[in-house]
Structure 1
Amino acid sequence: MCLAVPVRVVEVPEEGKARVQVGSGENFMDISTLLLPEAPRPGDYVIVHAGFALRTLDAAEAEESIRIFRQIAELGVNEGRALEQI
């Protein structure tokens, strides 16, 4: 299964590249923005898969996606705990 995740652009060091923050912690990665019709700006959110930004999201859409991913992760953790008790 492949998963594309929303990330926040923190820097655009050169054309076709961006540095993004993954989640709310100290996880950053460098990505390609060559597939986007317009270069993102710091503060923009993009969907990333395999190191490539696929599209730009508005902040509300990105935050909703992140909230859903967190809920899924929490369910997975709780599911694992429930299975350990069986």
Structure 2
Amino acid sequence: MKVVKVNLAKNVAKVDIGGTQQWIRLDIVNEVPKIGDYVIVHAGFAIYRLDEKEAQETLSLFEEMLRHEAPLH
């Protein structure tokens, strides 16, 4: 998810993916992200900061998986 806002006083960041935004905690992330960075999020916590190249590669893999996903019927 892309970081769009950071509030270090509250140790949170607002993140966005595909227009959906949410606040997440920064308590356990490997490196405090800045606006424009990308993070891997699990259960409301940023767990890993990615550089843009890593993030784009990861997002491309997710898009590829979704294209090949079987319907749930």
- TM-score w.r.t. the length of structure 1 is 0.74
Identical-residue share of aligned pairs (%): 38
C-alpha distance in structure 2 between counterparts of 1:70 and 1:55, whole Å = 20
Give the AA of the match of 2:28. Answer: L
Classify the secondary structure of the residue corresponding to 2:56. Answer: helix
RMSD: 1.8
Q: CA deviation at 1:26?
A: 1.6
Which runs of 4 or more aligned residues in structure 1 lie more than 2 Å from their structure 2 counterparts after TM superposition? 36-39
Classify the secondary structure of the residue corresponding to 2:40. Answer: strand
- Structure 1: stretches of 5+ with no match in the other structure: 1-6
Name the counterpart of 1:9.
3
The number of residues matched between the two structures is 72
Larger radius of gyration: 1
- Structure 2: stretches of 5+ with no match in the other structure: none
Measured at CA, do residues 68 and 38 of structure 1 come closer, stay the same or move farther in structure 2, by a change above 3 Å?
A: closer
- TM-score w.r.t. the length of structure 2 is 0.86
Whether 1:72 and 2:65 are equivalent positions in the alignment is yes
